[in-house]
Structure 1
Amino acid sequence: MILGLLVCTAGAAASLFLPPPGAMAHLAQIGRFQGVILLVIGVFFYFSHFRAADLFAKIALRLILGGLLALGGALLLFGPVASATRNMPLPLATETLLAVVILGGAILLYLRLGHWIDLLVERRVFGKRDPRQMIQDFRQQIGSQNSRASLIASIQSAAIEALAMRPEEIQVEPGLPDHTAPPADLLIPILPSSSKPIHLAVSLQGDRRTLLTTEIDLLHEIALYTGKRLNDLEREEERIERVRTEGNLSRQLVEAELRALRSQINPHFLFNSLNTIASLIPSEPEKAEKMTIRLSSIFRYVLIQSGRPFSSLHEEMEFLRTILEIEQIRFGERLSVTFEIDSAAEHLMIPSLILQPLVENAIKHGVTPKIGKSHILVGAQLHDDTIQIRIEDDGHGLRTDNDLDRRLRAHMTNGTGIGLQNVRERLSTLYGTAAALTLTDLESAGCRATMTIPLYGAKNANSSVARGR
């Protein structure tokens, strides 16, 4: 404003006292009109308390810069350039070329200096930080935050820092604006399309009467990035909840399936055991008592394991010993049993009660039909990354071709009820294709049932049981 007064006064005084038409007289005439423009711009700039004051200041200074560059270019073109090209062979062409060069240089200089003018207005005149740097810092800050509360606190603190205002003047309001409360001077949506919309409310109090355009643009940008981050968090929470729900449903389905499979206990073993006890009571009461105690231990173990999906290999082998002791009492000298258990595998976990159907299968199809003595071998050892459990008998096996044996083989390999199909379903439910159950004929006589359980599955089962599952 003062500069405009000085230029206007100096131009008027020069027009009165300098003789025309000299160069200084022309310059004084230009100064009279340009000084008025400077005066008007200065007045607006000095009393600016409106929203676009920063833009007005930038544009005004750019206009002044453009006028100065145009004036300097004109003086250069019609002064030294005109004098230098007057005595050249092609004065008009040379002057035109130099005019284009001067114009291009003035444009490039205007663009470069215009950028510095913007920075001068934002940082020196209005005391603001670089908005681009503030946005970059804000994006890095919210990128590592994973809660709604921390994001709301971050946008509020960023807005307070950007506007240099008090915390009570900037609030993050959930839902629609409250018409009963004092209206906010500026309301910027953060999540406008959400079921729970959020707005950034700015209330101008005290001496602060307006917001600059760059400040409003900055608030809109940080609100936009905050809304995107909140949407990402909502989608991530929904995905986690969906995965958790699907996991719970899958676990419940597997547990229900396993309970249904474990509940299919063969009643023939109970009937045979009770009949044997009844027949031994008159003649051999001591064996009947021993068999009753063993039968009680078996059903106690079944009741205990009914709520547990896994047991240690050692517990399952002791359970099989008790079953086979009862069978030895029932068959007498006809049945002998051998256990070959790798001690390194005894602590690993296997599905509860999964070996009982294999032993019953060996008794029913290997020992019972055979005339004379029979032998059952129960073995378990570690092989590569698996546990291999085998149950062998020296009965007829699977190699004969008569109708009875074909039906027997179909029953053993396909298995219905609590048979081998039950075992295969449990293995498939727990381990997928990593576990297997195979039946093979022995070279001499009999059949071998081999169950393969992945070692990692046994370890996972062990950790699950340790956690109390």
Structure 2
Amino acid sequence: MQPTDPAIFTGVELITLICATLVTAIFLTLSLRAGSAVVAPRANVILALCAFMWSLGGITSSLLEVFGASPEDRWLLLAQAMKMAGAIIWIVPMMAIWRPYVQRPWERIGLRLLQGVALLAALFYLVTYLAGAWGGWFPVPLAQLKESFRFVMAASGAGMLVISGSIRKTESLPRVIRVSFGLVLAGILILTLGLGLRAVCPSGGVTDTLSLLIALAPLVILCGALFLYSKFRFADCFIHQSLFIVMTAIVASVIAVFSQAKGGVWLWTDPDGPEAVRILFAGLAVTILSAGTIALGRILNRLVDRHIFPPPDYGLVIDQLRERLAALRDEEEIGQAVTATAREVLDLEDVRVVTVSEGLAVSLPRRCPRGFVELAPGDPLHGLLPTAGVELLVPVPDRGELTQVLAIAPGRKRRGLVTHEIGFLREVATRISSRRESLRHERALLEKHHREEFLLRQVVESELRALRAQVNPHFLFNSLNTLADLIVTDTARAETMTLRLAQVFRHVLAHSTRPLVSVQEEMDFLRRYLYIEEARFGERLRVSFEIDPETVTRAIPSLILQPLVENSLKHGLGPKLGAGHLRIAASKDAGHIRLTVEDDGVGNAADAVRDPVVAAPRRPDSPGVGLANVRRRLEALYGGRASFALEALAPAGCRATLMIPFTDEALPATA
């Protein structure tokens, strides 16, 4: 391949310088955007300024040369002075950044000497070019000045490579510094070798490759310097954009050089062949390289995110936080759980949920179009916050109103927050509002349930009071009928029955407001009631009680057995000739209390009705007020969990069985 037109390399240099200007502008932006709690290191700021001076001066001088400015033109000399000064002085802040990682004493001394030489060289070139720009006097010819500049840069690069020996062997070197260090050294090596080889081979075909390498080497150095700004907020976004800019510049430079290369071997076509073929291959090359640039840019971005800004498993963290919040019912505890998670996952110095004051309420809405507010060191909002060092405010939405914010203070020792970390903070802020909204909804449902339960309880209690009210008059009516008969036939027994009747009604009045009583209390009442019936039956009635001790203190509905006993006496034992037996029992049966009232009276299978849920009266001719009352009370108190059954016994008699849920609630066993 024949030597390429020098104008091509002027174009490549312009592409490189424009790219470098954009990247160095990013440097400066990152330096100025240093967080409120993290002061940008002076070395980073100076490095960004030097790189910007070099790129801006280079663009200006190249454009002036393209438009025909003479070598002694004042503006051209000033632009070249800016370019050279920036290129040499950048060594000083770079060495300052490397200093903590240099181990050997002689290397530290060499580092200091290199910084001093760089400052002196920069001062020399500035004075020389300024004197030539305003006075037209040069101590040495311009051509020799430019050659000496190349020599100084090559020598400085060699010195940096030597000094970096111990840095390369440092095992504890942070990953981001290691990546930055490697790229910077690679660029310095390319630049140093290129300048040295071009001094040896000033002409020839190899010069094209050397010129291209020298032009692109600063981009490699800039890529390495980018990672030195990784501790600043949103550094990942800036690094992604910068890498894409650098990749685009490299591809554009390669296309510019090889598309105009004489000899045509780069496009696999004969230079003497049809022009259309050259255009076709050039278009294909541009398309392939452009697509490759985009794909490579994505790969580089993924590598940067994975190795320089590795994110935690946010999905797992959010799931764990959701489960933790689901168990909390207090809003303050919810805020504490979220802030503790944010501090732990992102290693933050402080995170707080801050109630928005009047001052914050006025300022925040217009400052958070992106969903968060960044605070500069002198921001007046710092005076409205309860904690120092806050860099970021993340609103906690609450039904469209701004009532609270997450105040984020990363700390001075931590790098700035990057995109995925701020996204995580916004997500946990929404978790606060989501949980609070769920909590309000749960409370509303609970209040509604309580209201409905209260109203239902009032209805049930009213119904039970009405049913108990039915029992008392019914029992009194039957007792008075019996008493009226005895007054005529046996006045002595009538007097005894009257006293016992008074005891029974004293018990009924004492328990009239209690829906539930213990099994023992119910049995004691039945004994008093049967005292009255014994006055009517005399020796014809024999009563036995069988009570399981495990059921004595368990709760059952009050007066629930009296209608069954009355039914047995009136329709079973009353019509029977001779003595009769009434058996009353209480036992535990598979999670229920089985209450049994059994007689050997005149009942038979044709008379009895057996239904485990709904029972009919025992005798077809009986109004069954008492038994119907039992059924309705069981339904009101237990729903389908209780049952009532009547069954005929052979050869005669009837058994009434109640199955009532066995509860752990115990009541006093005294009457």
TM superposition score normalised by structure 1: 0.68
Residues 187 and 202, structure 1, Cα contact 8 Å, conserved in 2: yes
Superposition CA RMSD, Å: 5.3
Once the two structures are superposed, what CA deviation does each residue of 1:259-314 show, in whole Å capped at 9, x if it has no partner?
A: 32222211213423553675589x53xx4554344223212322333233333334
Residues 424 and 437, structure 1, Cα contact 8 Å, conserved in 2: yes
Does residue 380 in structure 1 map to residue 619 in structure 2? Answer: no
Identity %: 28
Residues 58 and 118, structure 1, Cα contact 8 Å, conserved in 2: no
Counterparts of 1:332-351 in structure 2 under 5 Å?
332-333=538-539, 335-343=540-548, 347=552, 348-351=554-557
Counterparts of 1:173-252 in structure 2 under 5 Å?
173=355, 177-179=360-362, 183=381, 187-193=393-399, 197-201=403-407, 213-252=419-458
Does residue 64 in structure 1 map to residue 271 in structure 2? Answer: no
Does residue 425 in structure 1 map to residue 632 in structure 2? Answer: yes
CA positional deviation for 1:354: 0.9
CA positional deviation for 1:430: 2.8
Q: Which residue is 1:117 aligned to?
A: 304
CA positional deviation for 1:30: 6.2
Residues 313 and 350, structure 1, Cα contact 8 Å, conserved in 2: yes
2:253, 2:565 → 1: CA distance? 108
Residues 73 and 103, structure 1, Cα contact 8 Å, conserved in 2: no
Q: Which residue is 1:325 aligned to?
A: 531
User: CA, structure 1 residues 324+136, in 2 after alignment: closer, same or farther (shift >3 Å)?
Assistant: closer
1:268, 1:197 → 2: CA distance? 69
CA positional deviation for 1:420: 1.0
Q: Which residue is 1:254 aligned to?
A: 460
Residues 298 and 322, structure 1, Cα contact 8 Å, conserved in 2: yes
Does residue 152 in structure 1 map to residue 335 in structure 2? Answer: yes
User: CA, structure 1 residues 212+313, in 2 after alignment: closer, same or farther (shift >3 Å)?
Assistant: closer
Once the two structures are superposed, what CA deviation does each residue of 1:232-261 show, in whole Å capped at 9, x if it has no partner?
A: 333344444444444444444333332322
User: CA, structure 1 residues 384+53, in 2 after alignment: closer, same or farther (shift >3 Å)?
Assistant: closer
1:155, 1:297 → 2: CA distance? 66
Amino acid at match of 2:336: A
Residues 258 and 309, structure 1, Cα contact 8 Å, conserved in 2: yes
User: CA, structure 1 residues 268+367, in 2 after alignment: closer, same or farther (shift >3 Å)?
Assistant: farther
Q: Which residue is 1:268 aligned to?
A: 477
User: CA, structure 1 residues 423+408, in 2 after alignment: closer, same or farther (shift >3 Å)?
Assistant: closer
Residues 393 and 448, structure 1, Cα contact 8 Å, conserved in 2: yes
Once the two structures are superposed, what CA deviation does each residue of 1:389-442 show, in whole Å capped at 9, x if it has no partner?
A: 123252466858xxxxxx993354x633xx211011112223333433334445
SS in structure 1 of the partner of residue 397 of structure 2: coil
Once the two structures are superposed, what CA deviation does each residue of 1:68-124 show, in whole Å capped at 9, x if it has no partner?
A: 68879999999xx969x99xxxxx9xx99xx899999887665444323345654xx
CA positional deviation for 1:46: 8.4
1:328, 1:140 → 2: CA distance? 71
SS in structure 1 of the partner of residue 361 of structure 2: coil
1:313, 1:374 → 2: CA distance? 28
Does residue 28 in structure 1 map to residue 207 in structure 2? Answer: no
User: CA, structure 1 residues 54+180, in 2 after alignment: closer, same or farther (shift >3 Å)?
Assistant: closer
Please list every run of 5 or more consecutive structure 1 residues that lacks an aligned counterpart in the other structure: 87-91, 123-129, 401-406
2:588, 2:344 → 1: CA distance? 66
1:73, 1:259 → 2: CA distance? 98
Amino acid at match of 1:428: E
Residues 504 and 525, structure 2, Cα contact 8 Å, conserved in 1: yes
Q: Which moved more, 1:10-19 or 1:293-302?
A: 10-19
Residues 394 and 425, structure 2, Cα contact 8 Å, conserved in 1: yes
TM superposition score normalised by structure 2: 0.51
CA positional deviation for 1:341: 1.9
Amino acid at match of 1:140: Q
Task: Name the structure, 1 or 2, with higher relative contact order (CA <8 Å, separation 6+).
Answer: 2
Residues 548 and 588, structure 2, Cα contact 8 Å, conserved in 1: no
Please list every run of 5 or more consecutive structure 2 residues that lacks an aligned counterpart in the other structure: 1-47, 55-86, 91-145, 151-190, 270-276, 365-379, 383-390, 608-616
Residues 572 and 602, structure 2, Cα contact 8 Å, conserved in 1: yes
User: CA, structure 1 residues 394+44, in 2 after alignment: closer, same or farther (shift >3 Å)?
Assistant: closer
User: CA, structure 1 residues 392+59, in 2 after alignment: closer, same or farther (shift >3 Å)?
Assistant: same
1:108, 1:325 → 2: CA distance? 101
Amino acid at match of 1:148: E
Q: Which residue is 2:567 aligned to?
A: 361
Amino acid at match of 1:137: V
1:353, 1:308 → 2: CA distance? 10
Residues 555 and 665, structure 2, Cα contact 8 Å, conserved in 1: no
1:25, 1:411 → 2: CA distance? 124
Residues 345 and 380, structure 1, Cα contact 8 Å, conserved in 2: no
2:606, 2:315 → 1: CA distance? 80
Amino acid at match of 2:665: S
2:638, 2:628 → 1: CA distance? 15
Q: Which residue is 2:620 aligned to?
A: 410
2:572, 2:560 → 1: CA distance? 19
SS in structure 1 of the partner of residue 542 of structure 2: strand
